[in-house]
């Protein structure tokens, strides 16, 4: 019996081996390799020459004014998160009260299903100052056309608007599912005691959603910090550097300036930022 159990355990490792090899090839090896070149002066033009420079790349980051600009733009871009959450929560609460919910739910999910680069190109056309639909309606009503993506004052706000449009359905879907899974007994007890709809939501439903909200915000925050394709399709960091978040600046350093060593060190700074924020949220999650 014991021999048969060990044999089955050995078979389990055999079946896991392909998945482990894929994980090592696609995740662990690139992580170690990028950490290695972050300590070296590596360029795409001279891949064979990789002189070791220690912490020079990381020290250069904190002397780079463009890095601080990228950090600031990243923090501003994160403003999209509370908008996504509150709009998604509001839609979920209202939708939960509808007697018939049918296929309307799928309409809310369409923006999330579309690939981000397709969303970016679609909105870029709508933001066009001469032929875009937004300026057409503004001029029809007698207002002045807005240079949505061509001026630094409006470009980042426009990108945030697209981000909110695409990912609010994610919060709606998760929070609506959470609302549908709240137990009926405490809701009915509160209503028998004369609680209003607001109090039922505030004191009964919302506590059940707290853990779900924290996890959802954490997932979306990590996605926002790593956002690339939306910015690439809409502005490519412009005009100037007004929409150049840290992840996009890392791409510019690595694939436009060919400084792979410096680009890798920027990637690890971003990774450290994400780990710190994730740990803060995990501690809040454990406390809840």
> What confidence score (pLDDT) does residue 82 get?
93
> What confidence score (pLDDT) does residue 3 get?
56
Residue 274 inside a domain? The answer is no
Residue 55 inside a domain? The answer is yes
Residue 201 inside a domain? The answer is yes
Do 208 and 139 share a domain, yes or no?
Answer: yes
* Structural domain for 146, as ranges: 78-244
The total number of structural domains that make up the chain: 2
pTM of the full predicted structure?
0.87
CB 190 within 8 A of CB 203: yes
Residue 264 inside a domain? The answer is no
Do 8 and 136 share a domain, yes or no?
Answer: no
Residue 125 inside a domain? The answer is yes
What pLDDT digit, counting tens, does each position of 81-116 carry? 999 999 999 999 888 887 666 667 778 888 988 999
> What confidence score (pLDDT) does residue 50 get?
82
Averaged pLDDT for residues 163-180: 92
- With a cut of 70, say whether residue 13 has pLDDT above it: yes
Do 98 and 199 share a domain, yes or no?
Answer: yes
* CATH number of residue 87's parent domain: 1.10.3720.10
Residue 259 inside a domain? The answer is no
- With a cut of 90, say whether residue 42 has pLDDT above it: no
Do 97 and 239 share a domain, yes or no?
Answer: yes
Do 187 and 102 share a domain, yes or no?
Answer: yes
Averaged pLDDT for residues 136-147: 89
Q: Record the tokens describing residue 108, joined without a space.
A: 């809310």
């Amino acid at each position: 019996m014991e021999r048969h159990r060990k044999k089955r355990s050995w078979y389990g490792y055999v079946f896991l081996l392909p998945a482990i090899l894929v994980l090592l090839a696609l995740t662990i090896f690139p992580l170690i390799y990028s950490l290695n070149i972050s300590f070296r002066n590596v360029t795409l033009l001279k891949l064979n020459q990789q002189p070791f420079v220690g912490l020079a790349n990381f020290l250069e980051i904190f002397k780079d004014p463009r890095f601080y600009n990228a950090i600031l733009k990243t923090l501003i871009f994160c403003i999209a998160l509370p908008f996504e959450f509150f709009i998604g929560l509001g839609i979920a609460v209202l939708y939960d009260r509808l007697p018939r919910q049918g296929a309307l739910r799928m309409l809310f999910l369409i923006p999330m299903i579309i690939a981000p680069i397709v969303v970016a190109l679609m909105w870029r056309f709508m933001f066009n100052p001469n032929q875009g639909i937004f300026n057409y309606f503004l001029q029809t009503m007698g207002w002045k056309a807005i240079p949505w993506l061509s001026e630094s004052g409006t470009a980042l706000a426009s990108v945030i608007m697209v981000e909110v449009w695409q990912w609010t359905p994610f919060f709606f879907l998760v929070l609506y599912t959470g609302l549908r899974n709240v137990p009926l007994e405490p809701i009915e007890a509160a209503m028998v005691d004369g609680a209003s709809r607001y109090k039922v939501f505030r004191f009964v439903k919302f506590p059940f959603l707290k853990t779900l909200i924290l996890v959802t915000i954490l997932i979306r925050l990590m996605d926002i910090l790593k956002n690339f394709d939306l910015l690439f399709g809409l502005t490519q960091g412009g005009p100037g550097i007004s929409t150049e978040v840290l992840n996009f600046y890392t791409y510019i350093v690595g694939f436009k300036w060919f400084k792979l060593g410096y680009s890798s060190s920027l990637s690890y700074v971003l990774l450290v930022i994400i780990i710190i924020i994730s740990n803060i949220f995990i501690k809040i999650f454990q406390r809840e």
